[in-house]
Structure 1
Amino acid sequence: MAKILDRLLLFIYSLSVGTLSVIAILLLSGVLPRSLEIRNWETAYIAVIVAAVILFLLSIRFFYISIRRERTSSLSVDQRTEYGDIQISMETIENLSLKAAGRVKGIRDLRSRIRVSQAGLEIMIRGVVDGEHSLPLLTSEVQRQVHEYVQDTTGVPVADVSVYIANLAQAPSFKSRVE
């Protein structure tokens, strides 16, 4: 929402500065007469002061936007090797954990969430099970697969893999039809 508002303000600001620039060029070049007949000078001065204050406030806002740090940059895990720096996005680690968990039969509709702690990555896997497998065996297999795959693939230590079983998938029931 803030970006849309900033774009709208930038549009208004650009339009205002452009209009004032054209008027100044036309006045200074002599195309427009310098002695415009203004009946109420006090109202004209107030309008000019209000416009100047608004343009000044918009200028301050755009100056702030230009120097502030962008907080929406994507999060990543950073590593330093002998050859240089490596950055792995959190989205990549989430996709790797989903790929590993998806290899385990009996679990589906997976989602993952990643947090970085001092000990390493903390991975939370959420899924739905089919109900045909033992839950302790299924969840421990998901934990093992995700832990090994993410750690081997990224080289980042995995501290914890939590598995949350959200629901049991309902098997579709078919009614036999007699004709």
Structure 2
Amino acid sequence: MYIKTLTVSELNGYIKKLVDNDFILGNSNVKGEISNFKLHSSGHIYFSIKDEYSKINCVMFRSSARNLKFMPENGMKVVVKGRVSVYEKDGAYQIYCNDIELDGVGELYMAFEKLKSKLQSQGLFEVTHKKEIPPYARKIGVVTSPTGAAVRDIINVAKRRNDAVVTFNISCFSSRNKC
């Protein structure tokens, strides 16, 4: 049996056709909490919906967004109605939303607000605790994986943008001591 070698575009196109021809994926109602909400200047809306275990990206085009009865916000618990499809350029699937219905305030957002309220009652957001931001940072702290590229990227960009940057102390703090 001969198995054809596909280009990336051909594979993404094939997967898109499979997903687009599925009845359930073409008519989906998905419940979750809004995060990463962005109202683009074009009128399109980009966001994610999530539950405690997963997230999926969503897009609502201007033509559908015009019909919304409310403006979605981060933390809202919603039911999105639309179709799941593949954005071929990135090979990523997402929900193309036709409508969004409010389903209450999400538990994750409520937990965030509860923590924020607790910290506020302790006075941690008082203006007296705030310090003026210096024009140039003397020390920069980065919290990331010890094997990640983020630290190296920050060092390279800092050195490229400011000749005065010369030394770096890279420390690793871990409860597992695997640094």
TM-score by length of 2: 0.19
Q: Which has the higher strand share?
A: 2
From the CA coordinates, give the structure whose radius of gyration is larger. 1
Q: Which has the higher helix share?
A: 1
